[in-house]
Chains A and B, each alone.
Chain A
């Protein structure tokens, strides 16, 4: 059989890269040396020959451990550990941010039940993951999130007015009233607008991280930035997860992937989602630095993200995977009744047993930084502020009708302009068939 291409073109040449230790690479040659005791070609990873036939059974291996700093009583597990390196003031900000997300969740879930907004998703039990991880980012870092990371927005400075404007799709909403509730987005600190589709943001994060890496190479004066990418363990079954991690690994992208493993993808428990050692085990397969953390422990999450961020910027850039474990104590969304597929007692057990907010509160109380009076006044203040912004946002006008057509392309096409004219003719011909009072400037907004 003759070869179609000359040999030199069929086998890619492996160049030396300074970003990886030499021991992991083939210096100049990729040919198999006569008498070698190892398989040596690209992808064979220096594998030793063996005469012992044995299949690797993952169940024989120990599970990847879970990093924690605080136990469920809010006490440091390792008394001799180094200091946390975070001020008490900052920890109190985290705590109040967790309270804010939690109180907003309760109010908005109830508002949806009353029909005042069409949809909502809470993040109960996962506040520690989103706030602790976002606390380790800089405002210049870029975030791609899923839809259960309200705490990331809260920690990055998204205001209650921002939240409420989006939830009520009013004229102050960054998304021009186009998206379902909880699909927040923010220009700076750059936190890309949420898409309902699962896992699509994962390869975006890789590409964005590569862009940041190139920009930093081209302009060494710019601050070095990473991308943080959030998703759930269910989303990690999508092809985009595998594509995103693999390409980030091969292109050495400075991105931290943070998987929130909450045990459920709507009704599907993790047992029917995967059989391996969680999501963390997959990072290893892609050659990615990986850690599993206790998601109810905000200190563990913060420290893991801070270390992951430093790792992601080391060696010229590389991806890191964090798997944060925290049981989903909430329903999937306002459209879901999770007691149709899991026992109420299971949920109540988890709620009672552990919770990132209560755990941090215990720590703060142990330190003498918090007490029942502070708790009550903080809750009352947060609640009042949320309700004030809720009322203001609910009363606000919707954006102008033209925003239905704008933004599809950079400029409205001739076709769409014609359709806007036709819609206007219909609205003028049949005024009694349309109520346009909610829209800013009514029919004039078209």
Chain B
């Protein structure tokens, strides 16, 4: 597989741009820039300590916590032994041994099938797929085996809960066709799977530990790879979890509900700041966190309050997560709607190298959607 360089090519498109500016991860309100807001956020004792780290370090910390908490936890995949191509498994083989942390041959279907077998016999395998773009050889194992295992076994009670399939996803500016994809909608179509996408380091640690220890279903855990180095915040040192299937209201608002997840939340936050300033409206921002099964109640409660909704995601708009959310909103909050539910998502094409910035959602398009929906 190819690997991507961590550098960012993003600069302001023109000197007068005020929307499509590079995301300033050092000042975004979506990250815990100090430790003071942590104990409230995660219901931790005030004595708990934290450390500033980026997303790959938080994944690494979560995996370290998991491997030391239970001897059932295993970690494997391509190039995992030397630390992984994104450094998420750094030092873990040295600390926990090559019995539980190891390289596999280059076979995604083998990796996922192996994890299913191990989970069926009581282990907690964490399988790494090097890029979400490369998960498709494992689609049969995920769709026909992991998702259907409990249902097929019936009274035997055997299931593959506790298994987690981790994969980096999303665009980084130069990944083109095979290092940019976010296939969450394909997995969210499959009953039996849980699909989780964290937005930040502290969210990633809590959600990953919940996926491994507090959830008895197979989890597809998708990590926005552009955040591996870019997103830095304080992360609690101790074990903590964030419940799956629960969305979070990141910012309250009254006039419009914006629903997103993963990296585009930072674009939403910037667009909302610009729109609130320019248009005088107040926008509520919701992070779905778990894409499926998803927290319909939080979304519907919000839209019933605001009467307007915009859904934002990076992957293609056609048959995407936005379609499901929009349909659920019109079904559950129709009489409260003041405008059609709008979707801002990737266009229905592949992520051509030269065109990435024009294909994927940006702050200007999200801003425009807010404006249109408010003015409808």
A residues whose Cβ falls under 8 Å from a Cβ of B: 112, 115, 118-119, 121, 147, 169, 176-180, 183, 195-198, 234-235, 237-240, 265-268, 272-274, 332-336, 340-341, 398-399, 401, 403-405, 408, 413, 415-416, 419, 423, 426-427, 429-430, 432-435, 439
Contact of B176 with A by CB under 8 A: yes
CB of B132, distance to nearest CB on chain A (Å): 12
Give the distance in Å from the alpha carbon of A267 to the alpha carbon of B4 in the complex: 15
Given contacts A179-B176, A401-B355, A266 and B3 within 8 Å (CB-CB): yes
Contacts of A332 in B (CB 8 A): 3
Contact across chains for B364 and A177 when beta carbons are under 8 A apart: no
The 10 residue pairs across chains A and B that have the minimum distance between CB atoms: A335-B3, A196-B178, A404-B355, A118-B174, A177-B354, A237-B105, A178-B352, A341-B82, A435-B13, A237-B106
CB of A416, distance to nearest CB on chain B (Å): 6
Contact across chains for B353 and A434 when beta carbons are under 8 A apart: no
Contacts of A147 in B (CB 8 A): 2
Give the distance in Å from the alpha carbon of A117 to the alpha carbon of B358 in the complex: 19
Contact across chains for A180 and B174 when beta carbons are under 8 A apart: yes
Q: What is the interface of chain A mostly: helix, strand, loop, or mixed? A: loop
Contact across chains for A273 and B106 when beta carbons are under 8 A apart: yes
Instruction: Point out the residue from A179, A183, A198, A335 that lies within 8 Å of B106, measured CB to CB.
Output: A198
Instruction: Point out the residue from B5, B18, B178 that lies within 8 Å of A195, measured CB to CB.
Output: B178
Given contacts A169-B354, A403-B355, A180 and B107 within 8 Å (CB-CB): no
Instruction: Point out the residue from B3, B105, B134, B357 that lies within 8 Å of A274, measured CB to CB.
Output: B105
Give the distance in Å from the alpha carbon of A336 to the alpha carbon of B1 in the complex: 11
CB of B131, distance to nearest CB on chain A (Å): 9
Contact across chains for A408 and B7 when beta carbons are under 8 A apart: no
Known: A197-B136, A238-B107. 15 other contacts (CB 8 A): A118-B9, A180-B174, A196-B176, A198-B1, A198-B106, A268-B106, A274-B105, A340-B83, A398-B354, A403-B355, A404-B347, A404-B349, A432-B17, A434-B13, A434-B358
Instruction: Point out the residue from B177, B352, B354, B357 that lies within 8 Å of A196, measured CB to CB.
Output: B177
Contact across chains for B354 and A178 when beta carbons are under 8 A apart: yes
Contact across chains for A416 and B349 when beta carbons are under 8 A apart: yes
Contact across chains for A238 and B3 when beta carbons are under 8 A apart: no
Contacts of A239 in B (CB 8 A): 107, 109-110, 137
Contacts of B110 in A (CB 8 A): 237, 239
Give the distance in Å from the alpha carbon of A237 to the alpha carbon of B364 in the complex: 44
Contact of B305 with A by CB under 8 A: no
Q: Of all chain B residues, which has the CB nearest A335?
A: B3
B residues whose Cβ falls under 8 Å from a Cβ of A: 1-5, 7, 9, 13-14, 16-20, 78-79, 81-83, 85, 102-110, 133-134, 136-137, 173-179, 317-318, 347-350, 352-355, 357-359, 362-365, 368
Q: What are 11 sample pairs from A and B whose C-beta atoms fall under 8 A apart?
A: A118-B353, A178-B177, A195-B177, A235-B106, A238-B107, A267-B81, A335-B85, A401-B355, A401-B358, A419-B317, A434-B357
Q: Of all chain A residues, which has the CB nearest B102?
A: A272
Give the distance in Å from the alpha carbon of A415 to the alpha carbon of B349 in the complex: 11
Of B82, B133, B349, most buried by chain A (CB within 10 Å of CB) is B349
Give the distance in Å from the alpha carbon of A56 to the alpha carbon of B255 in the complex: 74
Contacts of A195 in B (CB 8 A): 177-178
Q: Of all chain A residues, which has the CB nearest B136?
A: A197
Give the distance in Å from the alpha carbon of A189 to the alpha carbon of B132 in the complex: 33
Contact across chains for A430 and B5 when beta carbons are under 8 A apart: no
Give the distance in Å from the alpha carbon of A234 to the alpha carbon of B106 in the complex: 6
Contacts of B354 in A (CB 8 A): 169, 177-178, 398-399, 404, 439
Contacts of A403 in B (CB 8 A): 352, 355
CB of A391, distance to nearest CB on chain B (Å): 19
CB of A295, distance to nearest CB on chain B (Å): 20
Q: Of all chain B residues, which has the CB nearest A181?
A: B353
Q: Of all chain A residues, which has the CB nearest B78?
A: A268
Q: Of all chain B residues, which has the CB nearest A177?
A: B354
Give the distance in Å from the alpha carbon of A119 to the alpha carbon of B178 in the complex: 13
Contacts of B176 in A (CB 8 A): 178-180, 183, 196
Contact across chains for A266 and B19 when beta carbons are under 8 A apart: no
Contact across chains for A423 and B105 when beta carbons are under 8 A apart: no
Contact across chains for B83 and A238 when beta carbons are under 8 A apart: no
Contact across chains for B85 and A178 when beta carbons are under 8 A apart: no
CB of B23, distance to nearest CB on chain A (Å): 14
CB of B22, distance to nearest CB on chain A (Å): 13
Contact across chains for B18 and A432 when beta carbons are under 8 A apart: yes
Give the distance in Å from the alpha carbon of A6 to the alpha carbon of B81 in the complex: 54
Contacts of B83 in A (CB 8 A): 340
Contact across chains for A426 and B364 when beta carbons are under 8 A apart: yes
Instruction: Point out the residue from A401, A413, A433 that lies within 8 Å of B20, measured CB to CB.
Output: A433
Q: Of all chain A residues, which has the CB nearest B130?
A: A266
Instruction: Point out the residue from B78, B133, B348, B363 that lies within 8 Å of A413, measured CB to CB.
Output: B348
CB of B92, distance to nearest CB on chain A (Å): 14
Contacts of A434 in B (CB 8 A): 13-14, 20, 357-358, 364
CB of B368, distance to nearest CB on chain A (Å): 6
CB of A244, distance to nearest CB on chain B (Å): 13
Give the distance in Å from the alpha carbon of A96 to the alpha carbon of B348 in the complex: 44
Given contacts A118-B174, A419-B348, A196 and B1 within 8 Å (CB-CB): yes
Q: Of all chain B residues, which has the CB nearest A271?
A: B103
Contacts of A183 in B (CB 8 A): 176
Contacts of B317 in A (CB 8 A): 419
CB of B14, distance to nearest CB on chain A (Å): 5
CB of B112, distance to nearest CB on chain A (Å): 12
Contacts of B134 in A (CB 8 A): 197-198
Contact across chains for B133 and A196 when beta carbons are under 8 A apart: yes
Given contacts A177-B353, A198-B1, A237-B106, A426 and B347 within 8 Å (CB-CB): no
Give the distance in Å from the alpha carbon of A432 to the alpha carbon of B301 in the complex: 37
Contact across chains for A268 and B365 when beta carbons are under 8 A apart: no
Instruction: Point out the residue from A169, A404, A429 that lies within 8 Å of B359, measured CB to CB.
Output: A404
Q: Of all chain B residues, which has the CB nearest A404?
A: B355
Give the distance in Å from the alpha carbon of A222 to the alpha carbon of B129 in the complex: 45
Contacts of A398 in B (CB 8 A): 354
CB of A374, distance to nearest CB on chain B (Å): 37
Given contacts A266-B78, A423-B347, A176 and B352 within 8 Å (CB-CB): yes
Contacts of B179 in A (CB 8 A): 180, 196
Given contacts A341-B82, A404-B358, A419-B347, A429 and B368 within 8 Å (CB-CB): yes
Contacts of A272 in B (CB 8 A): 81, 102-105
Instruction: Point out the residue from A238, A419, A427 that lies within 8 Å of B137, measured CB to CB.
Output: A238
Given contacts A118-B9, A267-B81, A335-B4, A180 and B353 within 8 Å (CB-CB): yes
Q: Of all chain B residues, which has the CB nearest A176?
A: B352
Give the distance in Å from the alpha carbon of A433 to the alpha carbon of B16 in the complex: 8
Q: Of all chain B residues, which has the CB nearest A412?
A: B349
Give the distance in Å from the alpha carbon of A180 to the alpha carbon of B363 in the complex: 25
Contacts of B7 in A (CB 8 A): 115
Given contacts A196-B178, A197-B133, A404-B355, A416 and B347 within 8 Å (CB-CB): yes
Contacts of B349 in A (CB 8 A): 404-405, 408, 416
Contacts of B350 in A (CB 8 A): 178, 408
Contact across chains for A433 and B106 when beta carbons are under 8 A apart: no
CB of B318, distance to nearest CB on chain A (Å): 7
Contact across chains for B178 and A265 when beta carbons are under 8 A apart: no
Q: Of all chain B residues, which has the CB nearest A270?
A: B105
Contact across chains for A404 and B352 when beta carbons are under 8 A apart: yes
CB of A395, distance to nearest CB on chain B (Å): 15
Contact across chains for A265 and B78 when beta carbons are under 8 A apart: yes
Contact across chains for A433 and B359 when beta carbons are under 8 A apart: no
